[in-house]
């Protein structure tokens, strides 16, 4: 069984259990290492985060499939836990979407998320979003499911997260309709993006299946405690910007101190930084093989 197949098996066992899943999101090798070392069981590669750290640009569809799948490979190679990867709109028509799914499988992803925004897409908690019509949205998910099922014959299936952004464009009823359709089509995880109140979140949670809540600090959706989300019917709480925002805040403070001629004090000890990055393991292997 390949590493990717083992990761899928782990992820499926997790989402089929009774455990509520807290899922911090990663964007590079360092954030992935930190999440795994902190004891979390799954992570999600955030498109917002990858666009920010790789390009220094906003999550507005500027990053390409090639750049995203390359980042996914780097992340999956270093991760000891399953990784779900953001694949945006699938990067084209249904044939493109099948290629995207297969590309993420080869990169090592245990899961992939496909959404129904118009391309180029943008962050789900910003203004200016548009979604494709129902037929196009359903074709995208059908293509992803077909690719997943075909790969499953070789034990390389992938967990499919189906996302809709229709709440912000055509209303909650349309978002619920699409989400339920995605669930009935065979998507593994359902994600209705950017509900604007607890009442809306409760309606989404009642759809059943494995529901994911997106906890964007200072975004559109109320950020609620995990227990409250679980009581509403959600199974997963994703935190897409927590690490990115925290690290950017820390870097800004450090730079402000340096500009004032001060040495930042809220930093890791050099030995701890080396340990985090794997220097001891590297030296041990080098010693053993030299």
Q: Which runs of E-coded beta strand occur in the chain?
A: 21-26, 43-45, 83-86, 111-115, 159-164, 189-192, 212-214, 236-239
CA 224-18-233 angle, 5° bins: 40
Contact criterion met (CB below 8 Å) for 34 and 243: yes
Identify the pLDDT of residue 93: 96
Enumerate the domain spans of the chain.
3-289
- CATH class of the domain defined by 3-289: alpha beta
CB neighbourhood size of 32 (10 A): 25
pTM of the predicted model over 0.75: yes
Which of the 8 DSSP states describes residue 117? B
| CA distances to 245, 275, 277, 280, 281 from 287, in Å | 39, 17, 18, 10, 10
Q: Are 241 and 46 in contact (CB under 8 A)?
A: yes
pLDDT at residue 271 in the model? 95
Q: Is the bond preceding residue 120 a cis peptide, omega within 30 degrees?
A: yes
Count of residues for the chain?
Answer: 290
What is the layout of strands, in order, in the sheet containing 159-164? 189-192, 159-164, 111-115, 83-86, 43-45, 21-26, 236-239, 212-214
Stretches where the chain sits below pLDDT 70 are none
- DSSP letters along 121-190, please? ---TTSS---B--HHHHHHHHHHHHHHHHHHHTTT---EEEEEE-THHHH-HHHHHHHHHHHHHHT-SEE
Q: How far apart are CA 3 and CA 193, in angstroms?
A: 30
- Output the CA torsion 100→106→108→114 (10° steps): 10
Q: What pLDDT is attached to residue 276?
A: 93
Check if the beta carbon of residue 200 is closer than 8 Å to that of residue 167. yes
pLDDT for position 268:
93
């Amino acid at each position: 069984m390949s590493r990717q197949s083992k990761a899928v098996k782990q992820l499926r066992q997790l989402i089929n259990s009774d455990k509520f899943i807290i899922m911090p999101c990663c964007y590079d090798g360092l954030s992935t290492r930190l999440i795994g070392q902190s004891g979390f069981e799954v992570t999600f590669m955030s498109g917002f985060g990858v666009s920010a750290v790789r390009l220094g640009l906003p999550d507005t569809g500027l990053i390409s499939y090639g750049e995203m799948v390359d980042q996914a490979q780097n992340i999956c190679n270093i991760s000891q836990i399953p990784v779900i990867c953001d694949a945006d709109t699938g990067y084209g028509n249904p044939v493109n979407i099948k290629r995207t799914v297969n590309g993420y499988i080869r990169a090592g992803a245990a899961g992939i998320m496909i959404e129904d925004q118009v391309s180029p897409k943008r962050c789900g908690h910003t203004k200016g979003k548009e979604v494709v019509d129902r037929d196009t949205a359903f074709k995208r998910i059908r293509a992803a499911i077909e690719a997943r099922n075909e790969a499953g014959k070789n034990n390389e299936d992938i967990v499919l997260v189906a996302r809709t952004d229709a709440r912000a464009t055509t209303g909650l009823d349309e978002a619920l309709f699409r989400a339920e359709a995605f669930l009935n089509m065979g998507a593994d995880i359902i994600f209705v993006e950017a509900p604007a109140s607890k009442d809306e979140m409760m309606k989404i949670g009642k759809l059943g299946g494995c529901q994911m809540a997106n906890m964007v600090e200072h975004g559109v959706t109320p950020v609620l405690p995990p227990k409250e989300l679980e009581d509403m019917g959600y199974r997963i709480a994703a935190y897409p910007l927590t690490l990115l925002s925290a690290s950017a805040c820390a870097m800004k403070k450090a730079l402000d101190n340096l500009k004032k001629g001060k040495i930042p004090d809220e930093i890791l000890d050099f030995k701890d930084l080396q340990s985090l990055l794997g220097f001891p393991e590297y030296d041990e292997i080098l010693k053993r093989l030299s």
